[in-house]
């Protein structure tokens, strides 16, 4: 059996030791000047922790946050629409009338 994936030439995930992922995993964040590498050290597994419950709690919290973000986005869109309507009214109604009257 080959140590490399024949189609891509890379090792498969099952062939890479698990220590590699823990020690070498980093999150690269790109900014305007360079890459900043932030080490990612996952917490150790605790057998007395209910990870299923934690997963669903974080899922529900994320759904609430997404709902709040959607509400703010809707409010922003409504305000942009009001601004557009005011600008449109000014450009199409007030300005032509101002310039049409003799001074």
Does the pLDDT of residue 48 top 50, yes or no? Answer: yes
State the Cα–Cα distance between residues 61 and 55, nearest whole angstrom: 10
State the Cα–Cα distance between residues 36 and 26, nearest whole angstrom: 10
pLDDT at site 2 = 42
Q: What is the pLDDT of residues 88-102, one digit of tens each?
A: 888 888 777 777 766
Does the pLDDT of residue 46 top 60, yes or no? Answer: yes
Give the pair of three-digit tokens for residue 58: 């974080």
What phi and psi, each to the nearest 5 degrees, are found at residue 86? -65, -45
Give residue limits of the domains in the chain. 13-100
Q: What is the pLDDT of residues 2-35, one digit of tens each?
A: 444 445 455 555 555 555 554 444 444 445 556 6
Lowest mean pLDDT among 48-52, 72-76, 95-99: 95-99
- The three-class DSSP label of residue 61 is helix
């Amino acid at each position: 059996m080959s140590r490399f994936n024949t189609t891509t030439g890379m090792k498969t995930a099952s062939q890479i030791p698990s220590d590699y992922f823990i020690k070498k995993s980093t999150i690269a964040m790109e900014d305007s000047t360079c890459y900043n590498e932030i080490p990612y050290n996952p917490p150790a597994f605790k057998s007395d922790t209910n990870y299923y419950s934690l997963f669903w709690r974080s899922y529900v919290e994320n759904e609430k946050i997404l709902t709040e973000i959607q509400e703010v986005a809707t409010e922003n869109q409504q305000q942009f629409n009001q601004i557009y309507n005011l600008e449109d009214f000014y450009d199409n109604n007030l300005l032509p009338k101002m310039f049409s009257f003799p001074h």
